Structure 1
Amino acid sequence: MTILKTVPTPNGVAAAHRIVKSELVDLAIKVQVHMYPSAEKAQDAYLLWQEYPVLPLSALDVQDPVGSLERALAAQEEGLFAGGVYVADPAADDIDTAKARKWAQIKAERDALESGGFDMPGLGRFDSNAESRARIVGAAMAAKIAQDAAQPYSIRWTLADNTTVELGAEGVIAVGFALLAHTDGIHQRSREIYAQIQAAQTAEEVADISWTQEPAEIEAVA
């Protein structure tokens, strides 16, 4: 079983996480989680980091001890693995499970990229997490309203590196369009990969699919 979520560690970005040990501590469950670059590399040779989160005793299902604890980690609102996608490990020839697992991995990568920021030439890098996206959309709408009413508009925006830039109405609207292009490009790419996953004929083909493949490679495989 695996939790799929992109998490930065001191040794690199981990995307797959597994519980390898658990123990009862003061009426709670302390678990040891190994963090790996990907589900395909969830082996000791690729171990990037480990964490020791604590779960309530009620999270444990004795019929599925490890799975129940991993699902609980992904469901924790404030935990490191909150919002992660829990997937079962597929058998070597179980293509349906392999496809579901790969798509969960791709969605996790898609969401991380969408929230990872985007660059505006001559201005700098803008944050694009959910809160930042909402702020950009709101500011762009306000700028358009002011522009249509021939009213002055300006805003000082804090960039991803904590520097600031002064933007007029046209500048804010341009940032809004850049955000749209950023998110649309990522979702178009994820749809291409989804089609590739569905077209795969074997679990081995599914395992070879990655976000970084070029579109031409995807068409050739599909």
Structure 2
Amino acid sequence: MVRRIEANMPFSSAQLTVLSYSSEEGYLAGAGSVWSSQVSMPLDGAGGLTPGSVDAWLVTAAGSPFAGGTVVADRSLSLECAKSRRWADIKARRDRVEAGGFDCAGGRYDSDQRSAQRIAVAAQSALAQRAAALPYTVAWILADNSVRQLDGAGMIAVADALAEHVDAAFSTARALRDQVDAAATIEQVGAVQWPAPAQ
């Protein structure tokens, strides 16, 4: 049973606190030995960190000490607790998406906090140069370390694309929060998942 999930910056791994029982039957009967384990789960950055992905990794991954085991549901989990945990998962996923980069004009740009600040400063400079009828150009390093020459309009477009990217992440999270709040059962809460990225 997973008791706690903590994502480690920069989201390359997650630290799991797992309660282990001698058998599922023993757990359900309120018996069986139990111990707590700390497990580090690698994150590939694509699938996200959800209870379902954690459960699947624990019982199937070659690197998991619980491979071949069974995940048991927490019978003490209340609906409100399930909603609280799910919302925490959604916020963590939102933050990873926000910082995970965005596309603009065929290029992939970084969107971590430092990169977002640099984009905002560069866009302000581009706007000031445009207001003064002066040319603007900057050599911008993309996420793949390639370099793109941007003029004022191009730099402003990157800032606009970043704003749209962040707004989309927060809009998705708000919609999922509404679904979590409206859920009437723990199963309905568990069914609320971050949408898969478009292919």
State the TM-score, normalized to the length of structure 2. 0.71
State the Cα distance separating 1:173 from its structure 2 match. Answer: 0.4
Residue-by-residue CA offset, 1:29-65 (whole Å, 9 max, x unaligned) = xx74242853235443144746xxxxxxxxxxxxxxx
Letter in 2 for 1:110: R
SS of the residue 2:50 aligns to: coil
1:142 to 107, 125, 128: 125
Given the alignment of the two structures, is residue 17 of structure 1 paired with residue 16 of structure 2, yes or no? yes
Percent sequence identity over matched residues? Answer: 35
Q: Which residue of 2 aligns with 1:45?
A: 59
Check conservation: 1:143, 1:153, Cα contact below 8 A. Answer: yes
* Equivalent-residue separation in structure 2 for 1:90 and 1:19 (angstroms): 12
The structure with more strand, counted as a fraction of residues: 1
Contact 1:4 1:108 in 2 (8 A): no
> What are the superposed Cα offsets for residues 68-108 of structure 1, whole Å, 9 maximum, x if unpaired?
xxxxxxxxxxxxxxxxxxxxx96455101000100111111
1:206 lines up with 2:195 in the alignment: no
Does residue 177 of structure 1 match 2:160? Answer: yes
Unpaired segments ≥5 residues, structure 2: 21-36, 43-48, 65-72
Contact 1:4–1:104 under 8 Å retained in 2: no
Residues 16 and 38 in structure 2, CA contact (< 8 A), matched pair in contact too: no
Q: Distance in 2 between matches of 1:159 and 1:148?
A: 26
Q: Quick one: distance in 2 between partners of 1:92 and 1:32?
A: 21
Aligned match for 1:117, one of 101, 104, 113: 101
Residue segments in structure 1 that go unaligned for 5+ positions in a row? 9-13, 22-30, 51-88, 215-222
Q: 2:41 maps to what in 1?
A: 35
> What is the aligned partner in structure 1 of residue 112 from structure 2?
129
**Contact 1:2–1:17 under 8 Å retained in 2:** yes
The 1:213–1:183 alpha-carbon spacing in structure 2 relative to 1, beyond 3 Å, is: same
The 1:174/1:129 distance shift into structure 2, 3 A limit, reads same
